[in-house]
């Protein structure tokens, strides 16, 4: 208060001096304006030094807090009292409109009367929502962010398989944008996203190298790059599946399959029936010479048998040997062309042929992704059974490929007759995806694969990263070494053979880890500002789901009036001061 009086006295003295100076001047022109300018400048100077405050009455619910999070639009806010624990929101909205609290949970613990939260923006993080069991959350979501809101790809890719980068792009701009997948300086695939639309994308590439690699997913507007995201993955060499192909007659399907197996280094032996007891044979990537005479010992050499149903019916006594090896883990892939099952193995599947003269093509759907259409003369479908797993269907859900357990092995049936058309129509990626899926789901498992995953799926530098892995231990818990540093592990609460380890990601890039069981893998940590739209959309969905699952209801309290003190921006008075002093200078120097 003492300083206030000092400021007032000082400003009044300045005003008296300036008024005396103006009244003393011989030129009496514009004297009223000059006096008004002096008074305005003096008052503006005072209120610039001493903030002008006023009181405003707000009607509020004392038991409800309004929480602002990232994504909130400042212009949409009303006159309520707002809080935030996000420093970026505080900077964007302004200290005069929002109160900063460093820790929301700590604040709520000290204010037990608060039983409801109005959350604006993209929402609260998951670990905060987990602690709000006794609160009612009313989520007021922001608009879906611009850019890539979902993205996924296989991080560890077997050699010869196609890399598929899939996701969703939300384009809020008034112009189209282009998504471009780039690898090793080469443009691999692209897609145009029209203006004001949200579209899914599926970009593919065939990696030629082995080991770790980082591709880039670019967002282009014209020739300008407006976004870039890393696509890290690792191509691994694994023991190739040895394939035995038994064909009832020569056809293009097996010819193209032979070329594909050769190009992708699969060891394979082809036996094609020419007449009753005459066969043609061909070896692909095999060192030893095979005989056309198939015996029980032949099946033991291979991991997968691909055969026509007709040829299986002609095996005769060898069917017993084939069944015995299926019990030991061999895989059998059957090509079906008729609704009537010809062999004992195809009788596992319920087949039906449609009398449809209109359908000339079928669009296969593999792992929820549509492949290019395939010509078909007579549609043949596989019926649904609880003991079978559909692998490929058409767009109407009718099954084209299905697999079932048989002993320790698997039997898979497919009814697509001419998949080689994909190759002829420049859709080799679809051909590779289709046959890779059938082979990988059917072939004998040569070794126990290391099962692991990380959370979050797109870990950022500075985030807490959780590693979940499978390891069978007798007594002591397994040890995890990450970049030479040991991590504490704990057993999964539900799955006893799974273990968890977590750490704070302090550096970006590839991070190698190993387990006691001798397994070695690597994870990739993204930069702290990567995948902003993905993270924002995840937060949106998380908060929307949380609100929908709430079962508690809060009876609203009576509204109360509260007087709050607000401050007029001092820069307004600074502007008046400059205008007034500018007029006095202009009047003295120019208008005389």
CB atoms within 10 A of CB 287: 6
Tokens of 60: 């509020």
Report the phi/psi class of residue 28: left, alpha or beta, with left for phi > 0 and alpha for psi in -120 to 50. alpha
Give the model's pLDDT for residue 388: 92
* Residue given tokens 């929101």 in the structure block: 89
Task: Strands of 224-379 (E only): list them.
Answer: 224-236, 243-247, 268-273, 279-284, 304-308, 331-335, 351-353, 361-362, 365-366, 369-370, 374-375
pLDDT tens per residue, range 147-180: 999 999 999 988 878 899 999 999 999 999 999 9
Q: Residue 473: what pLDDT?
A: 65
Q: What is the pLDDT of residue 554?
A: 46
**Count of C-beta atoms within a 10 Å radius of residue 440:** 14
Q: Do residues 515 and 573 both lie within one domain? A: no
534 occurs within a structural domain? no
Of the chain, the end-to-end C-alpha distance in Å amounts to 43
- Residues 396, 277 share a domain: yes
Measured CA to CA, the distance from residue 342 to residue 416 in angstroms comes to 17
Q: How confident is the model at residue 359 (pLDDT cuts 50, 70, 90)?
A: low
Q: How does pLDDT run across 207-223, given as a tens digit for each residue? A: 988 899 999 999 999 99
From CA 583, how far away is CA 590, in angstroms rounded? 10
What is the per-residue pLDDT for 555?
45
Q: Do 430 and 349 share a domain, yes or no?
A: yes
Note the pTM of the prediction, 2 decimals: 0.67
Same domain, 125 and 224: no
pLDDT in tens, 81-134: 899 999 999 999 988 889 999 999 999 988 888 888 999 999 999 989 988 878
Q: Residue 402: name the closest of 422, 416, 417 by CA.
A: 416
Select from 237, 267, 291 the last residue of a domain: 237
d(CA 442, CA 403): 7
SS3 572: helix
| Residue (of 405, 270, 416, 432) closest to 332 by Cα position | 405
Render 177-209 in DSSP notation, one character per residue: EEEEEEETTEEEEEEEE-TTEEEEEEEEE---S
Whole-number mean pLDDT of the chain? 87
Q: What is the CATH number of the domain that holds 177?
A: 2.60.40.10
Q: Which residue has the tokens 């070794």?
A: 447
The answer on 251 and 373 residing in a single domain is yes
In a domain, 86, yes or no: yes
Query: Which range of residues forms the domain containing residue 409?
Result: 243-442
- Cβ proximity of 280 and 272 under 8 Å: yes
pLDDT tens for residues 273-297?
998 888 999 999 888 788 888 888 9
Summarised one tens digit per residue, pLDDT across range 241-276 is 899 999 999 999 999 999 999 988 899 999 999 988
* Predicted pLDDT of residue 358: 62
Contacts of 534 (CB under 8 A, 6+ apart): 148, 149, 150, 151, 458
pLDDT tens-place string over residues 1-10: 557 778 788 8
Mean pLDDT along residues 441-445: 89
**Phi and psi at residue 584, to the nearest 5°:** -60, -40
């Amino acid at each position: 208060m003492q300083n206030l009086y000092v400021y007032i006295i000082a400003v009044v003295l300045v005003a008296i001096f300036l008024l005396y100076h103006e009244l003393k001047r011989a030129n009496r022109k514009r004297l009223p304006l000059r006096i008004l300018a002096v008074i305005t400048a003096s008052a503006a100077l005072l209120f610039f030094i001493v903030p002008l405050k006023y009181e405003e009455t707000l009607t509020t619910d004392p038991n409800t807090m309004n929480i602002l999070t990232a994504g909130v639009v400042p212009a949409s806010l009303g006159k309520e009292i707002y809080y935030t624990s996000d420093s970026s929101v505080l900077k964007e909205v302004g200290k005069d409109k929002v109160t900063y609290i460093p820790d929301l949970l700590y604040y709520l613990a000290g204010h037990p009367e608060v039983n409801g939260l109005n959350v604006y923006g993209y929402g609260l993080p998951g670990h905060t929502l987990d602690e709000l069991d006794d609160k009612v959350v009313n989520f007021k979501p922001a608009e879906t962010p611009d850019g890539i809101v979902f993205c996924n790809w296989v991080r560890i890719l077997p050699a010869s398989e196609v890399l598929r980068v899939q996701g969703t792009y939300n384009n809020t701009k008034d112009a189209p944008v282009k998504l471009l997948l780039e690898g090793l300086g080469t443009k691999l695939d692209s897609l145009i996203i029209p203006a004001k639309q949200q579209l899914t994308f599926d970009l593919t590439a065939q990696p030629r190298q082995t080991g770790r690699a980082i591709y880039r997913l670019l967002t282009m507007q014209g020739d300008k790059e407006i976004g870039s995201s890393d696509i890290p993955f690792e191509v691994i060499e694994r023991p190739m599946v040895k394939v035995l192909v038994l064909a009832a007659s020569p056809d293009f399907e097996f010819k193209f399959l032979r070329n594909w197996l050769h190009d992708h280094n699969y060891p394979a032996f082809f036996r094609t029936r020419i007449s009753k007891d005459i066969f043609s044979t061909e070896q692909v990537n095999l060192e030893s010479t095979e005989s056309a005479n198939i015996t029980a010992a032949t099946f033991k050499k291979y991991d997968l048998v691909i055969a026509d149903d007709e040829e299986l019916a002609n095996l005769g006594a060898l069917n017993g040997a084939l069944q015995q090896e299926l019990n030991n883990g061999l895989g059998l892939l059957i090509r079906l062309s008729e609704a009537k099952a010809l062999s004992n193995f195809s009788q596992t599947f319920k087949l039906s042929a449609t009398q449809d003269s209109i359908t000339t093509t079928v669009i296969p759907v593999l792992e929820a992704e549509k492949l290019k259409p395939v010509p078909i003369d007579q549609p043949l479908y596989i019926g649904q059974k609880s003991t079978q797993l559909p692998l490929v269907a058409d767009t109407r859900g009718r099954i084209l490929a299905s697999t079932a357990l048989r002993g320790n092995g698997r039997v898979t049936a497919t009814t697509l007759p001419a998949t080689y058309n994909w190759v002829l129509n420049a859709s080799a990626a679809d051909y590779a995806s289709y046959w890779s899926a059938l082979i990988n789901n059917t072939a004998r498992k040569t070794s126990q694969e290391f099962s692991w995953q990380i959370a979050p799926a797109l870990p950022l530098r500075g985030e807490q990263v959780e590693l979940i892995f499978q390891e069978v231990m007798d007594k002591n818990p397994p040890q995890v070494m990450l970049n030479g540093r040991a991590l504490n592990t704990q057993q999964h609460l539900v799955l006893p053979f799974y273990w968890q380890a977590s750490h704070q990601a302090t550096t970006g890039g590839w991070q190698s880890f190993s387990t006691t069981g001798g397994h070695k893998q690597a994870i990739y940590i993204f930069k702290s500002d990567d995948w902003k739209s993905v993270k924002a959309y995840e937060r949106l969905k998380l908060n929307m789901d949380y609100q929908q699952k709430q079962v508690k209801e809060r009876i609203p309290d009576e509204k109360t009036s509260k007087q709050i003190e607000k401050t007029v921006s001092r820069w307004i008075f600074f502007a008046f001061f400059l205008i007034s002093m500018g007029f006095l200078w202009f009047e003295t120097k120019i208008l005389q």
